[in-house]
Amino acid sequence: MKEKHLPISKRLKTIATYLSQGSYFLDVGSDHAYLPCYVCQHDHKAQAIAGEINEGPFYSAKQTVEKYGLSNRIDVRLGDGLDVLNDSDAPFELVIAGMGGTLIKKILGRGHQLLTHFKRIIVQPNIDERDARIALLRLGYTITHEHLIKENGHIYEIIVADFINSKEMEKWAEKDLLLGRQLQFERHPLFIEKWQSEHRARARILSQMKRAKKKNDEKMARFERELSWIEEVLDYE
Ligand code: SAM
């Protein structure tokens, strides 16, 4: 029997709002395939490929898709990042959510030849958002939306990028890559909360680095630079 209601987080629901109507998308690192199932339940024309590198989540994804009767619209595949795609596949949107920005950058970098297939890429890095931005910009995408949400005490960034086939990387200052351009402009209360907390964490690490016997001058200089950008944006005296 088909189950009706899918348990899905506010974070994944927000990501879903950035997919187009009738989307055909690849969800890399789909885990339980909650996002593809939710999207296909709410959009009868949507289709998805749910990619997973690990067997445990791959079987969980298969189970969810069967449980909700969506096997004809969601193809669950085992593989690393974009390797799950075949020449005949034509998903036009890509989601990579719930992992670190450095891993997102690695997945995008490895699959760079396939990336022009995607009109839109939506990423949700748990940390190291700067790496995710760099990867998108290097690949000819422009960042069209930056969104913050808070769930279970954690603030998440959702970054949406559209393909423009132009390298915008040099137009981005280091500070913007770290903090996000739209996010700085909007100054949402969650942005302030996030960067107040990041400021405290960086200041603590910097003071530990200063007390250490063996000093890493380059790393300390980077932390000092980042602290000054954060202070600027938070209007600290
Ligand atoms: N995307 C879901 C979400 O946002 O809730 C699940 C996030 S879960 C924390 C990360 C998933 O990515 C894990 O199931 C992991 O096995 C998978 N993963 C990690 N590296 C991957 C890769 N290179 N290719 C495909 N899946 C990957």
First to last CA, the chain: 62
Task: For a ligand 1 pocket test, name from 54, 58, 74, 105 the mutation site with the most ligand atoms within 8 angstroms of its C-beta.
Answer: 54
State the Cα torsion 112-116-118-123 to the nearest 10°: 40
Integer CA distances (angstroms), 219 to 208, 210, 227, in order: 12, 11, 12
Q: What is the pLDDT of residue 1?
A: 52
d(Cα 116, Cα 94) in Å, to the nearest integer? 11
Low-confidence stretches of the chain (pLDDT beneath 70): 1-3, 237
Which pTM was predicted?
A: 0.96
CB 175 within 8 A of CB 35: no
The tens digit of pLDDT for each residue in 104-113 reads: 999 999 988 8
Q: What is the pLDDT of residue 237?
A: 67
218 phi and psi, to 5 degrees? -65, -45
Q: What is the pLDDT of residue 7?
A: 79
CATH number of 10-166: 3.40.50.150
Q: Cα of 29 to ligand 1 centre, how many Å?
A: 3
d(Cα 52, Cα 82) in Å, to the nearest integer? 10
Task: For a ligand 1 pocket test, name from 27, 31, 127 the mutation site with the most ligand atoms within 8 angstroms of its C-beta.
Answer: 31
Q: What is the pLDDT of residue 5?
A: 74
Number of Cα atoms under 13 Å in the Cβ half of residue 64? 25
Enumerate residues 6+ apart whose C-beta is below 8 A from 218: none
Ligand 1, pocket residues at CB < 6 Å: 12, 28-31, 51-54, 57, 80-81, 97-99, 103, 107
Q: Cα of 115 to ligand 1 centre, how many Å?
A: 18
- Give the residue whose CA is nearest to atom 5 of ligand 1: 98
30 CA: nearest ligand 1 atom = 1
CB 67 within 8 A of CB 3: yes
Q: Cα of 218 to ligand 1 centre, how many Å?
A: 32
For residue 14, count CB atoms less than 10 angstroms from its CB and return exposed for 0-12, middle for 13-18, buried for 19 or more: middle
The tens digit of pLDDT for each residue in 153-202 reads: 999 999 999 999 998 999 999 999 999 999 999 999 999 999 999 999 99
Q: Cα of 32 to ligand 1 centre, how many Å?
A: 10
Identify which of 53, 55, 56 has the alpha carbon closest to the alpha carbon of residue 29: 53
163 phi and psi, to 5 degrees? -75, 125
CB 46 within 8 A of CB 73: yes
